[in-house]
Structure 1
Amino acid sequence: MAVMEDMMPLMTHATERTAGLVRAVRQEQLGLPTPCAKFDVKDLLNHLEWVAEMFESLARKGPRTEQGAYAGDFPERAERMLAAWSRPEAWEGTSPAMGLPMPALAHMYLVDMVVHGWDLARATGQEYEPDPEAVSRALHFTGQMVEMGRQRGAFGPPVPVPADAPPFDRLLGIIGRDPSWTCRPG
């Protein structure tokens, strides 16, 4: 269970950080654009709710869930997701719904939390500094899975970033985000 012991603190911290950003979103910010072109802030919050619900189901070897309507309860769903992954059996075997090893799904979740936390922070003008170890793990994993991610529509076309860019900027570029994205012109 070394992977669980390594990953749970990273997943927990990234989830708690993103939940804090979610709690700080104001009603008037729901229509703002985000760096993820297909989402405004409300759509991104709804996506995060679905991600938490789906990864909770996957941790219990359940089905891939469908995205429901926006409910405004990401922090609560995220707590249930973390509880599901805190069980050693969640890390065993392959997901019947996704056909991937369970540790790969945990890494997918980590990428979602780290990147969508940045999306939300950028869109709403909040400070965001992801955990360097989470970024390192997400960058390594994404480098291995990027083509499958693009085929499945999870990642956009790459955005060029300098080879000596910080790891988080490289992660953003690989999955199709512009690290210099800003909600406001100029």
Structure 2
Amino acid sequence: MKTISELLEEAAAQAVPVVKAIEDDQLTGGTPCTEYDVRALLNHLFLVVDNFTVLAAKGTPDFSRTDDVVTGDWRGRFDEATTRLVKAWAEPGAEEGVSGGMGLPARTVGFMVLGDLMIHVWDLAKATGQDYVPDPALAAQLEPELAALAPQAREAKVFGEAFPAPPGATAFERVLAETGRDPDLLPLGR
């Protein structure tokens, strides 16, 4: 069984190139997360990465932040932020006990950020006309964890109603469907 840090390192290695390839003229485009354009989704993803870095250290996150961090060298800062996330989850005890602020088992919280990272990078890839297919082994580890969280996430309006997964769907396609996304969605960008 891989550690959360190892899983996040793999996911970040696939996420960073997608984020770095987003062009400035794409920031106002729509995304599969209809409440967010590309810029807003990037800001949300930065917020998630930063707060789950705090949660790894059993700290109390601030999910209320609304500042626009998609300025200056935001692509480089995203790379740095995901590196900090991976390091935070590699610290001794990060996966043990209960998370700070959320009151959930720390390993569950680690899978939450893994899911956010993978799913929102898919959203960004779809929005900007990029290819993104995460490692199947990574998606296979995420799928049961995310399925267990889905009812609570739907109740909190974090996930939409489950979308029917196509026959023969991959683990990641089933993850997307579980969150209310159409795995067969055509790219929105370009």
TM-score normalised by the chain length of structure 1: 0.91
Could you tell which deviates more after superposition, 152-161 or 20-29? 152-161
Letter paired with 1:15: A
**Which structure 1 residue ranges, 5 or more long, are not aligned?**
none
Letter paired with 2:100: P
Count of aligned positions: 182
User: 1:123 touches 1:182 (CA, 8 Å); kept in 2?
Assistant: no
Q: Corresponding residue for 2:137?
A: 133
- Is the counterpart of residue 14 in structure 1 residue 14 in structure 2? no
Deviations 1:123-155 (A, max 9, x none): 111111101111112211111110011112221
Q: Corresponding residue for 1:23?
A: 20
Q: Corresponding residue for 1:49?
A: 46
Displacement over 3 Å in runs of 4+: none
Question: How far 1:24 sits from its partner (Å)?
Answer: 0.9
User: 1:33 touches 1:183 (CA, 8 Å); kept in 2?
Assistant: no
User: 2:177 touches 2:183 (CA, 8 Å); kept in 1?
Assistant: yes
**Which structure 2 residue ranges, 5 or more long, are not aligned?**
none
RMSD: 1.7
CA distance in 2, matches of 1:150, 1:167: 19
**Taking every aligned residue pair, what percent have the same amino acid on both sides?**
36
TM-score normalised by the chain length of structure 2: 0.89
User: 2:52 touches 2:113 (CA, 8 Å); kept in 1?
Assistant: yes
Q: 2:100 aligns with which of 51, 75, 96?
A: 96
